[in-house]
Amino acid sequence: MPRDGCLFSFSDRLRALYVPGVGQLHFFFATIAGRVRASVRYSAASSMLRHGEPSGTQGWLYKEGRVLRSKHRRFLRLKGTILSNHHAENAPATWEVSVLDCPVRAGAKHNELVIQLPSRRVSLFAENDREFNRWVQALKTASSRSIDDFYRVGELLGEGAFAEVREAFDRDTGEKFAIKTINKAGLDDAQKDGLLREMNIMKSACHPNIVNTYDVFDQKNYLHIVLEFMAGGELFDLISASGAFPEKQAAHAAQGILRGVAYLHAHGIVHGDIKPENVLCKARAWPLQVKLADFGLASFVGEDGVLLPNPNVQRPTGTVGYIAPEIVRRQPYGPPADMWACGVILYIMLSGKAPFYGADDDQVSEMVERHELHFPDDPWRRISDSAQSLVRGLLQASPAKRLSAVGALQHAWFATFSAEVARTASGASGLMPSADERDLAATTPSRANLARRRFRTAVLGIASLIRWRVLSV
């Protein structure tokens, strides 16, 4: 059944990177006493997903020759539904097949596995009965992991260069989900490693303000990730439809974002790309229930509080307009960079304008680096001093002076709406929507798209339009 609660602690479940040849997943996690390094095996996470963890096993088998029938030692690796053959443990694959497309069965001979490749049949022999049974079970599990067996895939919701998102329905319960399908054929090795890193962070995190990952189906050319369906769409769309939020609504949204960020930071993870497009809403209704999404640039934090080396990220990353001064200067950075992005989002929610803007990305970055932060009378004279204090605390030029997620959540501004925010956190509304809120919930798609384009232009001028992924009506 879907993951409504957390069955395990984050540190018991977090899997950051699969290391070929070791068969384990390694990760860093924070504890009260400090950060420690730990390892967990695949089996520890099997109950985290609705239909179990993708199969993973590897080891030596013996390949029977086609002419002399002599046996040669080969290293086989099963990862998800992909079976690959290697001459040595760390050697590249000589062939790889999907067990969904190429049947694997027990042969007539003792401990024989028969793989029907597209052009020929391959016989492999296990060293003993125990190894044979291990491989038979793993292959049986992998061959039954077709996404179509569990979900009925429906309408396209969105697409990018290498991925698309579609609605999907559980074949047994009819429950609605979103399935992100990534075309791995267009990715290089570094991108595939980054994708694996992202996937394992997503499926390990469990918090009310982080989008749930319910299933993973790894096939030869495609990776399917079954996600919580967020009917309210992007926070960006809701801001663009209204221009700016009243303080009460901004407080609700900001607290949800900060709670998700605090959870990540407590476990040694920096999101790396916090922006309104990566904050999703459970519904287009007030008060908003927001959740963080898209962990493609997420990284881990070392003992010194800065990001650990990530071979998949060769340069500072993020989205112009949201990246912190230390990133612009190419200095080491860590959790405070996420807090800067939270400050930018809060500034936009309250004013409908971006704090840093320019004719192009370079001008925006220069404004950030010089810390040219302004609060013009229109509209800031209508916004409380307490709200402005929180924005300034998040947009401090020095990372050391910037508010942490926990510190921001304790700011006096939230106390103004504490009772209402508490009801939001518990999932109870308890608030009557204003006329503006009713208009937002009823916004039609055509009005939303028009507002979206106008807001993009207003919030950043003509800068970064490509990065903002302009959509047509």
Distance CA 453, CA 239 (A): 12
Is the separation of the CB atoms in 315 and 234 below 8 Å? no
Is the separation of the CB atoms in 280 and 235 below 8 Å? yes
* Distances in whole angstroms, Cα of residue 145 to Cα of each of 57, 102, 400: 15, 14, 48
Put residue 155 in one of left, alpha, beta given phi > 0 → left and psi -120 to 50 → alpha. Answer: beta
**Is 304 designated active site?**
no
Distance CA 313, CA 315 (A): 6
Distance CA 410, CA 33 (A): 23
Q: Is 180 within any annotated ligand binding site?
A: yes
Residue 291 is classified by DSSP as: E
Q: Which residues contact 444 (CB under 8 A, 6 or more apart)?
A: none
Strand 112-116 with 104-106, pairing: antiparallel
Pick from 192, 200, 198: which is nearest to 220 by CA? 192
Distance CA 336, CA 455 (A): 27
Q: What angle do CA 197, 198, 201 make, to 5 degrees?
A: 85
DSSP string covering 232-269? TEEHHHHHHHHSS--HHHHHHHHHHHHHHHHHHHHTTE
DSSP string covering 164-178? EEEEEEETTT--EEE
Distance CA 404, CA 384 (A): 21
**Number of residues assigned to the chain:** 473
Is the separation of the CB atoms in 124 and 134 below 8 Å? no
DSSP string covering 26-90? EEEEE-SS-EEEEEE-GGGGTTTSTT-PPPEEEEEEEEEPSSS--EEEEEEEEETTEEEEESSTT
DSSP reduced 3-state for 398: coil
Q: Which of 273, 361, 385, 439 is an active site residue?
A: 273
Active-site residue list: 273
List binding-site positions for ATP: 180
List binding-site positions: 180
